[in-house]
Amino acid sequence: MRQIEVCLSPDLIHLYDVKDKIVVVVDIFRATSTMITALANGVKAITPVADLETCRAFQHQGFVIAGERNGLPAEGFELGNSPLSYVNQAYQGREIAVTTTNGTLAIEKSKPGSAEILIGAFLNLQVTANYLAQRDCDVLIHCAGWKGRFNLEDSLYAGALITALPTSHTFNCDGALAMEALYQAHKDDLSAFLHKASHAKRLQNHNIEADIDFCLTFNKFNIIGKLVNDKLIAQTVSTEQTILEPSSITSR
Amino acid sequence: MRQIEVCLSPDLIHLYDVKDKIVVVVDIFRATSTMITALANGVKAITPVADLETCRAFQHQGFVIAGERNGLPAEGFELGNSPLSYVNQAYQGREIAVTTTNGTLAIEKSKPGSAEILIGAFLNLQVTANYLAQRDCDVLIHCAGWKGRFNLEDSLYAGALITALPTSHTFNCDGALAMEALYQAHKDDLSAFLHKASHAKRLQNHNIEADIDFCLTFNKFNIIGKLVNDKLIAQTVSTEQTILEPSSITSR
């Protein structure tokens, strides 16, 4: 059996061996939800960069630049971090350079030796699970958190991804055990539960309630997001794999 | 309202401000459970020390030395890390020096500027909650984890302590939110759930199932464990405070 683990914060990633694993980076509010939305809406590629200045430099190369710090759009950037900016193929065919508070850092920290890096969101949960089930690799879910702290939304995504996975993967990791159990306990009131999260409250203060609701939509898109040569691109997944219902794997 | 936060690992403690807070350090399997058992059984004081060599040096001063690494007794030490060693007043009146894999490190990291350091265990959950309710301080629950990683038992203790607290404390911390919810979801099958934890499995391999069961006993002892001048001592708590039932605070 392949293994699945959950790292609850980029500040704990040094405790995990990412070598030869598929690392799924998740920053639900909102970096990876926005990236998946952009890719599903025809954006050609997304270059995640660590800081605002590096990101700005991409503008001269014809990139659209998107930046956010502390939940607010970065000054002088064309786009902030809202998934709704990309719907209706608004940036189809364009290349985007993006920097966010937590998400891009988590991607950077996932690189050394890993087999692949995916980005995950509720928006493409099942297709990501299907892809992982088809690949012969151990998986590490890397929650971006909030400035190094544990956060609820990324951790619950980890629980949802474990639940959505067929019997291909098992775990001996308390982070995986806890988050699968927490997801099971709250999957029927997930939106209400996640609205209590500290970052959701922060976003509510910024009047972007619509973003929160969008980020909590399940399986809206059928592509995975994958890092190839330092750019995130969309990839389709073959549908050969049988999709098991979560209820069939809860005895694990 | 006073605040309560949960830090899920000593490797994340740098993200929290411990200044003027009461820090409750918890290492359920087994450091803090063992310390509470020792203090409740008449041990005069416990000196937590970071490494085996420093701990050994205390033997010449008449201390009983107790040491554990990776769940096993340290070579040449009188005691390992089993709470059962201390029952029936086996070491009444003695002073103990102790070093463990995770617990003593978490105590050390809780010191800078904190108002008080307590050690917590299911064994004295309610009395610790009563004490916190009487003190006019914010609280940080510091989970010792396993070599820096999140672990289930310490995190569920955090959820249990939050649940056991009267309405005196509130939170804006996703760690507190998640662990309160996880405890609520599993409080009726807590022992079975915690037997799945990775460290419980590690201890089962060492044939110390009895220790696990003991550490998961609720409210066996009526003392709190408090660090005073670098020694842990027992303290009794006045019973003036009304104990609220957990069900009365779940609307928080």
pLDDT band at A246 (very low <50, low <70, confident <90, very high): very low
pLDDT band at B249 (very low <50, low <70, confident <90, very high): very low
pLDDT band at B156 (very low <50, low <70, confident <90, very high): very high
- Cβ of A181 and B181 within 8 Å? no
3-state secondary structure of A5: strand
Span B176-183, average pLDDT: 98
Distance in angstroms (rounded) separating the CA atoms of residues B50 and B174: 30
Tokens of B193: 């759930």
The nearest alpha carbon in chain B to A183 belongs to B182
**B contacts of A140 (beta carbons < 8 Å):** none
pLDDT exceeds cutoff 50 at B246: no
3-state secondary structure of B210: helix
Q: Which residue has the higher pLDDT, B249 or A222?
A: A222
- In this prediction, residue B240 carries a pLDDT of 61
3-state secondary structure of B170: strand
pLDDT exceeds cutoff 80 at A32: yes
Per-residue pLDDT tens digits for A65-124: 999 887 788 888 999 999 999 999 999 999 999 998 888 889 999 999 999 999 999 999
pLDDT band at B110 (very low <50, low <70, confident <90, very high): very high
pLDDT exceeds cutoff 50 at B93: yes
CB count within 10 Å of CB B1 equals 10
pLDDT band at B95 (very low <50, low <70, confident <90, very high): very high
pLDDT exceeds cutoff 80 at A247: no
Q: What is the ipTM of this complex?
A: 0.91
B137 contact partners, CB below 8 Å, separation of at least 6: B2, B20, B21, B22, B115, B116
Phi, psi values for residue A187, rounded to 5°: -65, -25
Q: Is A19 on the interface with B (CB under 8 A)?
A: no
Residue A30: asked if its preceding bond is cis (omega within 30°), the reply is: yes
pLDDT exceeds cutoff 50 at A219: yes
Per-residue pLDDT tens digits for A200-215: 887 777 768 899 999 9
Mean pLDDT score across all residues of chain B: 91
- Cβ of B147 and A15 within 8 Å? yes
Give B104 to chain A, closest Cα distance, Å.
Answer: 19
**A contacts of B196 (beta carbons < 8 Å):** 177
Contact B68, B35 (CB under 8 A): no
- In this prediction, residue A238 carries a pLDDT of 81
> Among A41, A62, A79, which residue's Cα sits nearest to residue A225?
A41
Per-residue pLDDT tens digits for B51-71: 899 999 999 999 999 998 877
Phi, psi values for residue B83, rounded to 5°: -60, -30
Tokens of B81: 């890390």
Tokens of B63: 């201390």
> Among A86, A66, A91, A62, which residue's Cα sits nearest to residue A77?
A66
Mean pLDDT score across all residues of chain A: 91
Per-residue pLDDT tens digits for B210-238: 999 999 999 999 999 999 999 999 999 98
Best B5, B150, B171 member to test A by mutation, with max A CBs in 10 Å, is B150
A75 contact partners, CB below 8 Å, separation of at least 6: none
The nearest alpha carbon in chain B to A13 belongs to B149
**A contacts of B181 (beta carbons < 8 Å):** 182, 185-186, 193
Window B:126-155, CB contacts with A under 8 Å: 146-152, 155
Mean pLDDT is highest, among A127-136, A194-203, B103-112, for: A127-136
- In this prediction, residue A240 carries a pLDDT of 61
Residue with tokens 């990791």: A173
Distances (CA, A) of A210 to A84, A161, B71: 8, 23, 49
Contact B172, B149 (CB under 8 A): no
Q: What share of chain A is helix, strand, coil (3-state, %, to 5)?
A: 40, 20, 35
- In this prediction, residue B252 carries a pLDDT of 45
- Cβ of B174 and A146 within 8 Å? yes
- In this prediction, residue B161 carries a pLDDT of 98
Span A9-18, average pLDDT: 97
